[in-house]
Chain A
Amino acid sequence: MKPLNPLVLTVSVPPHKHYGSSVRGLMTAILMAMVPAAAMAVNTFGVDALRVMALSAGVAVLTEAACNRLMDRSQSVGDLHALTVGLAFAFLLPASAPWWLVAFGSAASIGVGKMMFGPLGGSPFCAPLVGWAICRVSWPGQMDLDASMLTMNLTYPLGQLKAFGWTSVQIQDTKSLLFGRQLGGLGAVQVAGVLIGGLYLVIKHHVSSIIPVGFLAGVATAAWLLHLINPVVYPPAMFHLLTGSVMFGAFFLATDGPSSPNRQIPMLLFGLLAGVMTIVIRVWGAYPDGVPFAILLANLFTPVLERIRPRPFGAR
């Protein structure tokens, strides 16, 4: 048939305009939000922090590229998710972490925490925490923040709390804690920087505020109750909020899309659960900082929480 009109149109399904968000856009925003904490980490821990972050981010991207190759999938590193996971994993490590630990953990975060479950969106866990958990269980010595950082003149408040009790914690004042004068995950303890980045993400609507609010409320309420019961043994809520990975977990880890619920009420419960679990692990568990395991546990509850859903429009 002779074409009636040689003009060729593009045919596509609606919508014909988009809000403008994208995976790459979101990851760019998250990476930007991590810059203040990363800068503070370099300031505190020096070139060691830079080494760990660069190595972890690089290995994560390479692992994802290799997995895509081996699994015969289209290349996805361009969406910057792997870079984000790599950097987030580095944020949880001590600045003194040996290169092989960084490389292994970062590769495990991507390989086991993401690629094993298919393309982005398939994993039921927050990817960097998977790598962290594997390393923490396999090499407790190297992951131990106190022992690994003996050369620094900073102390690890959560370690002291766990081992010797509240009265012997050396750093207690809010200002030192806020500005990263504590040992811990190299980026995660840069609390002021993490907070600036986290607020940026929430205010710009890149991530919903519900999970961070729930998480911080969970931590604060549980800690406050314990402190009320026995102020000599249990530190005040502010101490818990400003130590370890609480801030980083609230804004950057618990908010991971696929591993957290999607609706408002389940999101709030998810946040609260992770927050309360953090304090439970810190007080009664084996690990000084409860955040990573608390979030992984909450991830397991996501499918259950997702069952809390409203009645669809007009359905009877």
Chain B
Amino acid sequence: MTMQATPSLDLAELTLRRHCPLVTCGQSVLRGERLATASAPGAGDIHTPIAGVVTHVDAYRIRVEARGHDEVEPVDLAALSGKALYDKLLELGVDLPPADAVDTLIVNGVDAEQGVLTRASLLASTPEPLEHGLKTIHALYKPRLTTLAVLKGASIPDYDIQLTEIDHNYPAGLDPLVALAVTGIEAPDHTEVIGLETVYHLGRVMRTGLPVLETPVTVDGKLAIVPVGMPVSRVLGEAGIVPAEGDRIVLGGFLRGEAAALPTQGVDRSAVAVTLVRNPAPVAEDVACVGCGECVRRCPARLDPSMITSYAEFGLYDKAAQAHVEVCFECGLCGFFCLAHRPMLQYIRLAKSELARARSREEVAL
């Protein structure tokens, strides 16, 4: 059940994460032209899925309004290999972790969260770009072992690759737990986990020579291949879902996904699903921990989320670091079970990003 036909867009909005804009307002751009470049290692650049005019640029988004149909020239990738290929792929918008010293390469084909079936559907329905991507990724990383993690009992076409079966229960499909399932070691060295959608991006880029312009998402229980930057309200609209005033549009799953700020916010490469939540009342409340201990008993990383989030709440990020906040793999279970409905994952992500900021400041100072 694939919604393949790419709808034509009159507006695209590209979400910037750690990217620097390369265009200015009023500039005309071709389809596939680079709009922003990544400032973090392993993150790909960002390109426009439509030809048009840049109408808005800020630190978080770039908007393009459609005009014309001209497209950039495809890049000949066949001639490239190794580091040159890796750099080119990042430039073309594939998010690939640094390619040196990888012993075990795991392609994660498991949709961790309930209600998301992007990876499972990709595996079942689009072997062609995936095969291409798997071949390239193997050549790029030269690992001793490449394995594809799939749900236990899933029937998929033959990808000529070793399979690792993953348990159905959340959070078994999250990257750190998949790495544990494959290697038998918690947080193993020289091991990389790459999401299946990235392999799909890679396969498409290798075949077309164009940057990543489309991404797979789950909408209304079906796989849809949509342009990167397609407004989330349009994505829903194509599936016949009309958001109403006060609804939430979630990019990703219910436990970890991010709510879109505007109906025009574009789908980005990391969004594995676009879901409408009809209930306007947010789950989280600004309350203190009531000490029930539920989160501590539920945390699969064996952390004390109540302490970590209380530290983050009061800005004591170094204490959060001592409590091993970095170990947290953001499964979101602590917030799902929090008796007081605290915004647990948000506090954890806040602490992590503040610690990362402090680290980069230190690096600059050295």
A and B interact physically: yes
Interface string of A279-316 (1 = CB under 8 A from B): 00000000000000000000000000000011111110
25 pairs, A vs B, C-beta closer than 8 Å: A4-B11, A9-B249, A9-B260, A9-B262, A10-B246, A11-B259, A14-B255, A14-B259, A14-B332, A15-B254, A15-B345, A17-B254, A18-B283, A19-B336, A23-B290, A23-B339, A23-B340, A121-B290, A121-B291, A208-B297, A263-B297, A264-B297, A313-B186, A313-B187, A313-B329
How many A-B pairs fall under 8 Å by CB? 156
Binds B, one of A148-156, A181-189, A254-262: A254-262
CB of A22 within 8 Å of the partner chain = yes
CB of B99 within 8 Å of the partner chain = no
CB of A7 within 8 Å of the partner chain = yes
Contact pick for B296, options A119, A262, A315, CB 8 Å: A262
A312-B324 contact given A12-B284, A23-B290, CB 8 Å threshold: yes
CB of B341 within 8 Å of the partner chain = yes
CB of B288 within 8 Å of the partner chain = yes
Contact B259 A313 (CB under 8 A): no
Contact A16 B291 (CB under 8 A): no
Interface string of B1-45 (1 = CB under 8 A from A): 000000000010000000000000000000000000000000000
CB of B76 within 8 Å of the partner chain = no
A128 to chain B, nearest CB (A): 16
Count, chain B residues at interface, CB 8 A: 60
Q: Which of B218-257 contact A (CB under 8 A)?
A: 233, 243-250, 252, 254-257
CA distance A5 to B260 in the complex (A): 14
CB of B277 within 8 Å of the partner chain = yes
A12-B340 contact given A263-B297, A312-B302, A313-B301, CB 8 Å threshold: no
15 further contact pairs, Cβ within 8 A, besides A15-B283, A18-B341: A4-B262, A13-B282, A14-B257, A15-B335, A16-B250, A18-B336, A19-B336, A23-B339, A119-B287, A120-B288, A258-B292, A263-B296, A310-B302, A313-B300, A313-B302
Q: Which of A8, A120, A312 has the most CB of B within 10 A?
A: A312
CB of A46 within 8 Å of the partner chain = no
CB of A112 within 8 Å of the partner chain = no
CA distance A9 to B233 in the complex (A): 10
Contact pick for B288, options A21, A121, A261, CB 8 Å: A121
CA distance A156 to B277 in the complex (A): 59
- The secondary structure that dominates the A interface is loop
Query: Chain A residues with Cβ under 8 A from B233's Cβ?
Result: 5, 7
B contacts, CB < 8 Å to A: 11, 176, 186-187, 233, 243-250, 252, 254-264, 275, 277, 280, 282-284, 287-294, 296-297, 300-304, 306, 324, 327, 329, 332, 335-337, 339-341, 343, 345-346
Query: Chain B residues with Cβ under 8 A from A9's Cβ?
Result: 243, 246-249, 259-263
CB of A26 within 8 Å of the partner chain = yes
Q: Which of A17-72 contact B (CB under 8 A)?
A: 17-19, 21-23, 26
Leading 8 A-B pairs by shortest Cβ distance: A314-B187, A262-B293, A258-B291, A12-B282, A121-B290, A314-B186, A313-B301, A262-B296
Contact pick for A261, options B247, B254, B293, B300, CB 8 Å: B293
Query: Chain A residues with Cβ under 8 A from B254's Cβ?
Result: 14-17
CB of A98 within 8 Å of the partner chain = no
- The secondary structure that dominates the B interface is loop
B272 to chain A, nearest CB (A): 14
CB of A122 within 8 Å of the partner chain = yes
CB of A78 within 8 Å of the partner chain = no
Contact A257 B291 (CB under 8 A): yes
Contact A315 B327 (CB under 8 A): yes
Nearest A residue to B349 via CB reads A13
Q: Which of A13, A15, A259 has the most CB of B within 10 A?
A: A15
Contact A257 B290 (CB under 8 A): yes
Contact pick for B327, options A14, A15, A18, A314, CB 8 Å: A314
Query: Chain A residues with Cβ under 8 A from B336's Cβ?
Result: 15, 17-19
A310 to chain B, nearest CB (A): 5
CB of A231 within 8 Å of the partner chain = no
A10-B290 contact given A22-B339, A315-B327, CB 8 Å threshold: no
B219 to chain A, nearest CB (A): 16
Q: Which of B256, B283, B291 has the most CB of A within 10 A?
A: B291
Interface string of A154-166 (1 = CB under 8 A from B): 0000000000000
CA distance A167 to B111 in the complex (A): 68
Nearest A residue to B343 via CB reads A13
Contact A12 B246 (CB under 8 A): no
Q: Which of B290, B296, B336 has the most CB of A within 10 A?
A: B290
Query: Chain A residues with Cβ under 8 A from B280's Cβ?
Result: 10
CA distance A33 to B304 in the complex (A): 29
CA distance A310 to B260 in the complex (A): 37
Query: Chain A residues with Cβ under 8 A from B327's Cβ?
Result: 312-315
B279 to chain A, nearest CB (A): 9
CA distance A11 to B260 in the complex (A): 7
Contact pick for A257, options B186, B260, B284, B293, CB 8 Å: B293
Contact A312 B339 (CB under 8 A): no
B247 to chain A, nearest CB (A): 6
Nearest B residue to A259 via CB reads B291
CB of A141 within 8 Å of the partner chain = no
B62 to chain A, nearest CB (A): 14
A68 to chain B, nearest CB (A): 14
B15 to chain A, nearest CB (A): 14
